[in-house]
Amino acid sequence: DDGAFALSASGGLTVGDAAAFAAHVGGSVALTVQVTDNTARSGVGDVTVTVNAAFDPCDPSPCAHGACSAVGEAAACDCAGTGYSGTLCDADVDECGTANGGCDQTCENLDGTFACGCDQPGYVLGDDGHSCVVLGACGAAASCDPALDVLVFYGVVEDADGNAVGSIRCERDADGEITCDADEDGVLAVSDTLWCE
C-alpha cells in the first residue's frame, strides 16, 4: 500500500489516487472495472473496485438471438440463420417480403420464422415445406398422366368455422386448373380419395 492502491485479502483493489496508480504501473492504464463500494463522501475519495482481467462482453450476451462474439472489448451479434436482424438480432426478418419466402402459394411471416401454405383447392404442402403438390391417393403427387388423364376428386366445402356445408366433384386438367361441379360458399377442403379418368 503506497497510497496509490491497495489489494485486500479477498483480492479487491482499492485505488486511492488514480494518477499515482497510473504512475505506479508505468503510465496510462485502461481497466474495465465494476464499482462495488463507493466510500467517497465528497470530493476525491476512495473507491473500491473489482478488476476482472478476463472481461467478456458476451457474458451475459446482449444479443436477443444469434451468437455473440467479442471484438476487442465490444460485443458483436451474428444473426445468420436466426430469422432476426439488427445490431442485437432483435428485429424480426419478413422472409415473405422477398420472393414470397420461396413458397409456391402462400407465405405467413411469423416471429423469427415463416410458414408456407397452399390455398388452392387440391394442393397440399410438399415434404420440402415450400412447394405445393397435388393431393393424391398414392402420396402427395397424383399418378395421373396429365396428357391423357384428368385427376378427379371430391371435396368437402367448409364454412369459416370448419363445418362441412357441402360436397362437390372436382377435376384437375392437364394445365393444373381445378374446376368443380358446383359453386358452394366456403372453403374447399380436399378429400384424400382421388382417381384418374
Residue that is written with C-alpha cell 398422366 in the block: 145
The residue ranking higher by pLDDT, 165 or 73, is 73
pLDDT in tens, 134-169: 765 433 344 555 555 566 666 666 666 766 666 667
Pick from 184, 120, 180, 187: which is nearest to 159 by CA?
187
The residue ranking higher by pLDDT, 101 or 24, is 101
On whether residue 61 sits in a domain, the answer given is no
Do 126 and 176 sit in the same domain of this protein? no
Check residue 120 and give its pLDDT. 80
* Residue 177, Cβ density class (10 Å: 0-12 exposed, 13-18 middle, ≥19 buried): exposed
Q: Is 90 exceeded by the pLDDT of residue 93?
A: yes
Do 126 and 171 sit in the same domain of this protein? no
Tally the domains of the chain: 4
On whether residue 120 sits in a domain, the answer given is yes
Q: Is 80 exceeded by the pLDDT of residue 95?
A: yes
pLDDT in tens, 111-123: 999 999 988 877 7
Domain that holds residue 108: 103-134
Phi-psi region for residue 10, left (φ > 0), alpha (ψ -120 to 50) or beta? alpha
Do 164 and 188 sit in the same domain of this protein? yes
The residue ranking higher by pLDDT, 69 or 179, is 69
CA Rg value for the chain: 34
Q: For the chain, first and last CA: distance in Å? A: 98
On whether residue 86 sits in a domain, the answer given is yes
Check residue 23 and give its pLDDT. 46
Do 46 and 87 sit in the same domain of this protein? no
pTM of the predicted model as reported, rounded to 2 decimal places: 0.44
Check residue 68 and give its pLDDT. 96
Check residue 145 and give its pLDDT. 59
Contacts from 181-185 at CB under 8 Å and sequence distance 24+?
184/157, 185/157, 185/159
Q: Is 60 exceeded by the pLDDT of residue 87?
A: yes
Do 162 and 118 sit in the same domain of this protein? no
Residue type, position 142, single letter:
A
On whether residue 62 sits in a domain, the answer given is no
